[in-house]
Structure 1
Amino acid sequence: MRTCNRVLGSALLVASLTLSGVIASQPACADDYPELSEDVGPVKAFRFGARAYLSGDFRYALKALEHAAKAGHAIAIWKLGKMYADGDGVDEDDQRAFDYFRQIANAHADDNPHSQMASVYSNAFVQLGNYYKAGIPGSQVEQNYGEAARMYMHAATYFGDADAQYELARMYLDGSGVPRDPAQSIRWLYSAAKKEHVAAQALLGDLLISGADVHARPVEGLKWLLIAKNKAGPADRDWVLSLHFKAMQATSADQQSAAETAANAWISSAAQ
């Protein structure tokens, strides 16, 4: 008898499934799922696939999501891209992931940036930017910083995507794919930091404290590092703590007190 193994996946998927009513209750653990005949529409096929995915039945999930994707179901297409990108329930295949994300980008580049689906569309652009930045060995997707910057720019400006804004900030800081412009980098970091993007908050704080590329503002910089430290998860915690430790060595007691007051005010305001 198959054991039910609930696999939550990404927060973006869970949010999307909640919006579509897929996980209003616990996912089913049935051994058998409905046959995916031609009369099963994309919405129903996606729901079947999502429930199977959340209960760990990747074989059926893949079949159902592909059924929905062929009819243009955007979340199904995006989830297939993520599965192949991460090797999640399937063999990792970056080219197939890239093709799924490109399908979303081509079809939904100009869709409503304030819709419930906007985060799915913008994330597809971010994923494409990541692939262009690194390239895909053995494929026709070569490393192309300019194209990566173009993907990030669209997601950052049209959809207001914080991940894209952070990646674009790093490119302006390094001069990769765009002219080097630390001031522009700071502007994008501020935009992402205000959306609670931990990496953007930490990098912004470090740059403002060091003053290497921009006018030093140690109190403002330490404020953002304290905010990042408060929110950092396991993936970010070590490097954020390292920057925080360095910042504490570079600032005075008065500056630290002022930064802590400002950070606490921001954290309290964000929680409301």
Structure 2
Amino acid sequence: MIYKIVIFCLMSLCLIRANAQSESISKDVTPIDTLGINVLLNTAKQYKYGINTDVNIKKAIRIYKYLVRKGNTDAMTELGKMFIDGDGVEQNYKRAYFLLKRAAQSNNVRAMCVIAKMYQFGLGVKQNYEKAYLYYFDAMQHGSPEGFYGLGYLTYKGLGTKQNYEKAEIYLRKGSEKGHSGCDFLLGSYYANGMNGTPNYEKAQKHYNMAVKRGHNWTIDLTQYNTLDSIKSKNQSRQKMIVGQNLKELIQKKAQDKTMTTTDLHSLAGRWTGTIYTYDWSYRKIFDQEPITLLFTGDGIFGTMKWINNDTVSTIFTPDIQENNYFKMSKLHKNYQQKKWVVTKASFYVDSDNKLYIPISTIKFNNKEPRKPAIAVLHRDVISVPSQSLKIVGITPLPVKDTSMTIKLYAENDDIVTISIYNMASIKIADYGSIKIKKGINELTINATIAQGKYLLKIVGNKGLVTTVFTHL
């Protein structure tokens, strides 16, 4: 009898302790080991989103932190996401990355996909599509629908990997089979635009409908906005866009046979009009075309270009770096925040007919993601041709080898000019002040005690400026 009484008392004590433990979360006491991991994760989720209880982010965070100390990768992932979003905690990308990296190394596929997004969009890390691709690839190998979508998306556009529609379709189809709405939306666009050759509107409609049913954020009701009808209309107009179809090959051919040359940007000063052709991601066909006006001014090291469409400035390009035939911008300025897109890299070619060809690379300003490739073809507006008041006739020796260099400068009128030298990172390394020049040819000798490398020489007068790139050996 005494034995039974002792057993009963022990069972009662266990029940009392279990009840106290289950209530510890609601009393904001650190959870204890005997509670199941899944129960704790579910409780944290309830507190975070207010499911069957009031929202209490602090309690959710305490549970996640407790589980992180126990090595739980799902808690690491959730807490990492909260640090990225600043959800209930101070935004901290460094801590987020640390938690997510730990979880990913333990094969948590959700963590892999979140880190992939950090690299894809440059969230707290330097934007790196190659690393994003690798993390999505790891997630895909574990069967993650998000992994398939990420791989399909990057392969579709050629970000971080070689562009390949056929491979992208395979990834997206597998993601669709796993119920990923983003895969269905992208497949719908793929078939509707005929990226694989010919549009297939039946397949496009099927995947668009699936995207809607699965609640894709961009396309809650595709039929309401006649998305497919709009694409059909564009496809019909694209059939007429044959003028710019082979521009890329034409530029390469003209450059090879020397009927096209790269040009000093300041010589382009004035107004140019023409057409900008947008290609698909593979450069196989013209995706769109529209009239464009380009206004070159002498502002900045290389000059400034205003891209104008329908009397509205679409964007501004102020390059500060030259690499071979490309001009680039090293950083985005605040005045680009109001622009939907930004030119990041461009080449400028003029052919024997004085027609200007500009292959350009652009990005969306909000997420820094590349847009489809484009080529502008323009001719100069005759009434805007500027007076070439200054012209560099030559530099000796060239390449520069000595501690001095002589510049032959042509001037239309007597003038006062300033001479400066910049490195290719757009940093001024030498300033020679103001120098008086006369009408005609002037020979100006300046000190060239500079390190080996490539430099930009800039000469500014009262009525114009001129630049040229030279090499010092």
Q: TM-score range by the shorter chain?
A: 0.5 to 0.7
Deviations 1:218-262 (A, max 9, x none): 2122211122223325x3335x627972324566xxxxxxxxxxx
**1:86 offset after TM fit, Å?**
2.3
Matched, 1:169 2:169: no
1:70 matched residue in structure 2: 69
- TM-score normalized by structure 1? 0.65
1:123 matches 2:122: no
Q: Is the partner of 1:237 in helix, strand or coil?
A: coil
Choose the corresponding residue for 1:236, options 218, 226, 232. Answer: 218
Question: CA 1:35–1:126 in structure 2 vs 1: closer, same or farther (change >3 Å)?
Answer: closer
| Corresponding residue of 1:255 | none
Cα 1:242–1:93 change in 2 (3 A) is: farther
**Partner secondary structure for residue 161 of structure 2:** coil
**CA 1:43 to 1:127, structure 2 compared with 1: closer, same or farther past 3 Å?**
farther
CA RMSD after TM alignment: 3.1
Instruction: Give the Cα separation in 2 of the matches to 1:86 and 1:28.
Output: 30
- Contact residue 187 and residue 207 of structure 2 kept, 8 A: yes
2:129 is the alignment partner of 1:145? yes
Counterpart-to-counterpart distance in 1, 2:174 and 2:123: 30
Q: Which runs of 5+ in 1 are unaligned?
A: 1-26, 110-120, 252-272
Separation in 1, partners of 2:147, 2:117: 10
- The CA distance in 1 between the partners of 2:29 and 2:231, in whole Å, is 62
Q: TM-score, normalised by structure 2?
A: 0.39
Contact residue 226 and residue 244 of structure 1 kept, 8 A? no
Is the contact between residue 201 and residue 225 of structure 1 (CA under 8 Å) also seen in structure 2? yes
Q: Give the whole-Å Cα distance in 1 for the aligned partners of 2:123 and 2:152.
A: 23
* Match 1:191 to one of 147, 151, 174: 174
Partners of 1:129 and 1:42 in 2: CA distance = 35
2:40 paired residue among 23, 42, 47: 47
Q: Which has the higher contact order (CA 8 A, sep 6+)?
A: 1
How big is the shift at 1:35?
Answer: 4.4
Moved more, 187-196 or 82-91: 82-91
- Equivalent AA in structure 1 for residue 96 of structure 2: A
Which one has a bigger Cα radius of gyration? Answer: 2
Residue in 1 that maps onto 2:399: none
Map of 2:119 onto structure 1: 132
* Displacement after TM superposition at 1:194 (Å): 1.6
CA contact (8 A) 1:129 1:147 kept: yes
Larger fraction in helix: 1
The answer as to 2:33 corresponding to 1:33 is no
- 1:87: which partner in 2? 86
How many residue pairs were aligned? 205
Aligned AA (1:143): Q
Deviations 1:121-154 (A, max 9, x none): 21110001001112234xxx32111111000011
Amino acid at match of 2:40: R
Unaligned runs of 5+ in 2: 1-21, 233-473
CA separation of 1:176/1:223 partners in 2, compared to 1, >3 Å: closer, same or farther?
Answer: same
* C-alpha distance after superposition, 1:19-59 (max 9, x if no partner): xxxxxxxx9798623246xxx43956882972654543322
1:65 positional shift: 2.2
Instruction: Give the 3-state SS of the residue equivalent to 2:137 in structure 1.
Output: helix
* Structure 1 residues 150 and 92, CA gap change in structure 2 (3 angstroms): same
Which secondary structure does the structure 2 equivalent of 1:67 belong to? helix
Q: What SS is found at the alignment partner of 1:78?
A: helix
SS at match of 1:232: coil
> How far apart in 2 are the matches of 1:73 and 1:80?
11
